[in-house]
Amino acid sequence: MMRISETVKHLIIINVIMFIGTLAIGNGTLFYDWFAMHFPKNEAFQPWQIITHMFMHGGLMHIGFNMFALWMFGSPVEQVLGSKRFLFIYISAGLGAVALQVGYYYFQYLPMEEQALSLGASPQEIIEVFKESKVFTAIGPEFNQIYYATMVGASGCIMGILAAFGMMNPEAKLMMIFLPIPIKAKYFIPGIIILDLISGITGQSFFSPSNTAYMAHVGGAVTGFLIMWYWKRTQFNKNRWDL
């Protein structure tokens, strides 16, 4: 059995503590209100949520699957890179994930906001409609769905680690639970990213729940890939930044 590395172990502990806190404190909503990543135009948004959402999860299967993936891929990556570099990729991938997901939300939201303004609504009136749980009938419920969207989970971080694992072990054979066929990491991981990208654009879910933040997966994976690509490119550069 693979030995769990130190940083991975501590990350799992933090995630479990946050999950228990979510269940035990405030009837399951208080931690979500405080620590889940809210859409920045929502008044519930707070700057610390950019980090804290990475340690929040929406259910037992969600945290179970993510922590299993963190152990399985994170431990070998940390053992090669060391704890500082591993943690740098992990947090950076989480930031890349939230940046792409929120950016995609803005890409969808801003045209609808402009449409509402063109219909005569003021910015304050738009917020008041959201507060009263009303819908701009001329625009549709998607306007409200983005405003109230929340994001939780370590998936973006783990996708970055998965990308790093694939670059370190391109010939390793991986399998999905729903597709028990061994596929080399250099094909498997890009395939997963492409499916997430298609799901994010079309709304068509392949293997994940329909409420998955697909663009966060893509953002995390791309961030992890770029960091590893840069490190491999500069590994013989004496002036590189060592963590």
What are residue 38's DSSP bridge partners? 150
Q: Pick from 99, 96, 62, 81: which is nearest to 209 by CA?
A: 62
The length of the chain, given as a count of residues:
243
Domain residue ranges of the chain, discontinuous segments joined by +: 6-233
Whether 153 and 54 have beta carbons less than 8 Å apart is answered as yes
Q: Rounded CA gap, 187 and 236, in Å?
A: 27
Place of tokens 């590189």: 240
pTM to 2 decimals? Answer: 0.90
Which pLDDT score is estimated for 116?
Answer: 86
Q: What is the DSSP string of 176-191?
A: ETTEEEEEEHHHHHHH
Which pLDDT score is estimated for 135?
Answer: 78
CB within 8 Å of 63: residues ≥ 6 apart: 15, 16, 19, 57
| 93: helix, strand or coil | helix
Which pLDDT score is estimated for 240?
Answer: 52
| 209: helix, strand or coil | coil
Q: Rounded CA gap, 23 and 21, in Å?
A: 5
Any idea which fold 6-233 has? Rhomboid-like fold (1.20.1540)
- Count CB-CB contacts under 10 A for residue 75: 20
Tokens of 124: 């304050």
- At position 211, the amino acid (one-letter code) is N
Which pLDDT score is estimated for 12?
Answer: 97
- pLDDT means over runs of 10, the chain (243 residues): 88 96 89 94 94 95 94 94 95 97 93 88 83 75 88 96 93 74 86 88 73 90 95 67 51
